[in-house]
């Protein structure tokens, strides 16, 4: 680790030790999580306002010097128009005030902009910019829900199998089944062949927006055991402007929270994109990630500290042997109510490279949920 990174670690550690650990500084926990606002289709409040903000530092081995980043500020606005209609808007403001490639000084993007109509209790139609219901990570990516700093690279970055956060224009049908869980059916403008730069933002003329539609479904079984969520997802549709080339993704997921001590999350996903392969005609992608998190029964930490590890193994283009693996370990502490400090170290492996690449990363994050 570079010397400057170690100095920053030391300063942060001293701050946490001196100002945070005394229990008198803490208040009662709030059961609210930001994942709730992605999933809910109606509210018991006339006006709902929440959000999160995250500041972080990353140092990359063999890369540019470590840098601070106001990574994200994301407010959520919801309004219960009447007994049946709930309107929601979530804005994503990233990397302010850093200059982006398009000359802008921050990325501003609507993550959700919906009209939710409750047909009856447990059955809802959503119209607008929806968060595409594929797997769990697309819902649980907020810094307050994510136990690590980074997100699984199989779902984030230029070589992702499913590039999240995935937002697209469409219609979503959500139905909750008592004693089972919930399922979603949806149709969206874009395709499953998302990239880091598109994520549902395809140009209406140049690509598939408003030409060919993709159809998808997801089921989440949440009533088998308390804290357990298992399910499956699928989406299929054309990815080119002429609607001749198809893309599809399928996935299964499992999440378990055992007595707030042991947490497990895993997703396996695979798919194919016609005509996008670099060796053969099609590009076949697939892989998985596993997260295990443990909260030690230590009284001084008041159950607000956990240690997490994540392993990811995936291929962006199987025939081209474009294969990757990553191990990430992290610690997280809720220093104040709804305020978390996290430290993470990532160990990366790029099997598809012609030469070994040293790009391990260390990160610190301070995130707030409101």
In angstroms, the Cα distances linking 193 to 92, 155, 175, 295 are 22, 12, 27, 37
The architecture in CATH of the region 3-369 reads: Beta Barrel (2.40)
**Residues near 244 by Cβ (< 8 Å), separated by ≥ 6?**
238
> DSSP for 97-126?
T---TTS-SSEEEEEEEEEEEEEETTEEEE
For the chain, which residues make up each domain, given as ranges? 3-369
Residue 10 phi/psi, 5-degree rounding, is -65, -45
pLDDT tens across the length of the chain (370 residues)? 444 444 544 444 444 433 333 333 333 334 556 666 555 555 566 778 889 999 999 988 766 677 898 889 999 988 999 999 999 999 888 887 766 665 556 677 889 999 999 999 889 999 999 999 999 999 999 999 999 999 999 998 778 999 988 999 999 999 999 899 999 999 999 899 876 665 555 555 445 555 678 999 999 999 999 889 999 999 999 988 788 899 999 999 999 998 888 999 999 999 999 999 988 889 999 999 999 999 998 888 777 999 999 999 999 999 998 899 999 999 999 999 999 999 999 987 766 544 445 578 899 999 999 8
Calpha distance 89→166 (Å, rounded) = 15
Calpha distance 49→56 (Å, rounded) = 24
């Amino acid at each position: 680790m570079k010397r400057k990174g170690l100095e920053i670690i030391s300063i942060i550690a001293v701050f946490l030790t001196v100002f945070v650990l005394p229990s008198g500084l803490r208040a009662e926990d709030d059961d609210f999580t930001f994942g709730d606002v992605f999933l809910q289709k109606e509210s018991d409040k006339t006006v709902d306002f929440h959000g999160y903000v995250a500041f972080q530092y990353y140092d990359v081995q063999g890369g540019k010097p470590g840098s601070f980043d106001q990574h994200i500020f994301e407010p959520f606005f919801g309004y219960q128009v009447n007994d049946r209609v709930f309107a929601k808007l979530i804005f994503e403001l990233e990397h302010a005030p850093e200059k982006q490639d398009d000359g802008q000084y921050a990325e501003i993007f609507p993550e959700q902009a919906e009209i939710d109509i409750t047909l009856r209790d447990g059955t809802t139609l959503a119209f607008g910019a929806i968060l595409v219901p594929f797997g769990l990570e697309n819902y649980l990516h907020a810094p307050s829900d994510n136990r690590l700093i980074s997100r699984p690279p199989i779902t984030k970055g230029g070589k992702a199998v499913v590039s999240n956060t995935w937002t697209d224009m469409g219609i979503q049908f959500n139905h909750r089944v008592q004693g089972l869980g919930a399922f979603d059916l949806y149709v969206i403008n874009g395709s499953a062949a998302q990239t880091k730069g598109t994520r549902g933002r395809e140009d209406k003329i140049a690509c598939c927006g408003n030409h060919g539609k993709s159809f998808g479904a997801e089921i989440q079984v949440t009533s088998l055991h308390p804290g357990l969520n298992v399910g499956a997802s699928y989406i299929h549709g054309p990815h080119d402007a002429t609607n001749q080339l198809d893309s599809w993704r399928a996935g299964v997921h499992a999440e378990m929270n055992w007595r707030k001590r042991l947490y497990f999350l895993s997703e396996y996903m695979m798919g194919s994109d016609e005509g996008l392969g670099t060796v053969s005609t099609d590009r076949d992608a697939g892989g998985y990630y596993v997260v295990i998190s443990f909260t030690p029964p230590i009284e001084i930490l008041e159950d607000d500290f956990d240690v997490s590890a994540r392993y990811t193994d995936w291929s962006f283009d199987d025939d081209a042997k474009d294969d990757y693996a990553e191990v990430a370990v992290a610690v997280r502490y809720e220093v104040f109510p709804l305020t978390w400090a996290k430290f993470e170290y990532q160990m990366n492996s790029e099997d598809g490279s012609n030469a070994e690449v040293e790009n391990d990363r260390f990160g610190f994050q301070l995130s707030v949920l409101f």
